[in-house]
């Protein structure tokens, strides 16, 4: 029994000595071949925490739409759209109007809070008799959003670890190496945060492109037959004037061609 007690006491003493030796660490222990390989450790700890925690997924959906239709009154239609935009707390991000050969076309790009997209679209549609084009799409970016969030969390944990290492760094070389890695990590963090903000903006505000137009009868076709004959005669006189003006502009070439024809005729006569 005494021998067993002595053996058991020695084993306990040996284990306590090993634990003390493992508890001490230095900056040099975290450093491997001049670089710091702590990303894998942070990623593993993040994955373990993710597995142990139940996460409620909030779907991230980006809604976009494109509609076009004809209207009898451009001003009234525009006023109706602007009132609906204000009613549903949206804003117009682009507005342009142009004229084609037979139409006057207005093009609006509207940003509407996602929860108000369907009511807004229904209110606009209530004044439309027939759509020339109506295309609504929903893009699920939940996976992309969660992926960026997870990578951002890992990078922030990595930033904290590098900050801790920087405090323990003793030489100038070690400080410069850690600061370089810290700068790279912070740059990646800013890029990911910008990506998250963009995705969140696209999710929070849906985009609807509204194109409406009014047919305009061309003035050429609205003229009477007699008037069109008079205009054609007048255009013919103008064309004759421009023809003679063109001849005057190229008179040296005409003179040169006449002299060349005379010279060729004389040559043929001499040969005969």
Give the model confidence (pLDDT) of 38-57 as tens digits. 444 444 444 544 444 445 66
Instruction: Please report, to the nearest 10 degrees, the dihedral formed by the alpha carbons of residues 146, 150, 155, 157 taken in order.
Output: 140
CB 137 within 8 A of CB 202: no
Q: Indicate whether 199 belongs to any domain.
A: yes
Q: What is the pTM of this model?
A: 0.55
Q: Indicate whether 1 belongs to any domain.
A: no
Q: Indicate whether 269 belongs to any domain.
A: no
Band the pLDDT of 80: cuts 50, 70, 90.
Answer: very high
Q: Indicate whether 208 belongs to any domain.
A: yes
Specify the number of domains making up the chain: 1
Comparing 47-56, 103-112, 123-132, the range with the smallest average pLDDT is 47-56
Q: Is the pLDDT of residue 29 over 80?
A: no
67 has which bridge partners?
134, 210
65 contacts: CB under 8 Å, gap ≥ 6: 117, 121, 134, 135, 136, 137, 206, 207, 208, 209
Comparing 51-60, 67-76, 191-200, the range with the smallest average pLDDT is 51-60
pLDDT on residue 173: 85
What is the average pLDDT score of the chain? 77
Q: Indicate whether 62 belongs to any domain.
A: yes
Arithmetic mean of pLDDT, 141-157: 91
Comparing 19-23, 160-164, 228-232, the range with the smallest average pLDDT is 19-23
Q: Indicate whether 3 belongs to any domain.
A: no
Determine the structural domain holding residue 149 and report its residue range. 26-215
């Amino acid at each position: 029994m005494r021998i067993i007690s002595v053996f058991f006491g020695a084993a306990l003493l040996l284990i306590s000595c090993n634990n003390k030796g493992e508890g001490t660490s230095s900056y040099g222990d975290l450093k491997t071949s001049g670089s710091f390989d702590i990303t894998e450790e942070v990623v593993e700890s993040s994955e373990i925490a993710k597995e142990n925690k139940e996460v409620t997924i909030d779907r991230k959906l980006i809604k976009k739409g494109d509609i076009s239709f004809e209207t009898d009154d451009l001003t009234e239609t525009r006023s109706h759209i602007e009132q609906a935009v204000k009613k549903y707390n949206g804003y117009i991000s682009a507005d342009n109007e142009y004229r084609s050969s037979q139409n006057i076309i207005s093009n609006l790009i509207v940003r509407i809070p996602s929860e108000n997209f369907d009511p807004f679209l229904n209110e606009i549609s209530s004044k439309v008799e027939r759509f020339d084009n109506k295309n609504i799409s929903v893009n699920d970016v939940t996976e992309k959003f969660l992926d960026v969030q997870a990578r951002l969390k890992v990078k922030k944990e990595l930033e904290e670890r590098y900050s801790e290492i920087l405090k323990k760094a003793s030489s100038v070389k070690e400080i410069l190496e850690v600061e370089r890695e810290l700068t790279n990590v912070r740059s990646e963090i800013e890029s990911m945060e910008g990506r998250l903000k963009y995705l969140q903006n696209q999710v929070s505000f849906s985009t609807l492109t509204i194109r409406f137009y009014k047919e305009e009868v061309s003035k050429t076709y609205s003229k009477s037959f007699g008037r069109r004959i008079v205009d054609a005669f007048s255009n013919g006189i103008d064309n004759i004037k421009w023809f003679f003006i063109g001849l005057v502009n190229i008179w040296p070439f005409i003179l040169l061609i006449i002299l060349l024809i005379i010279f060729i005729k004389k040559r043929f006569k001499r040969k005969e």
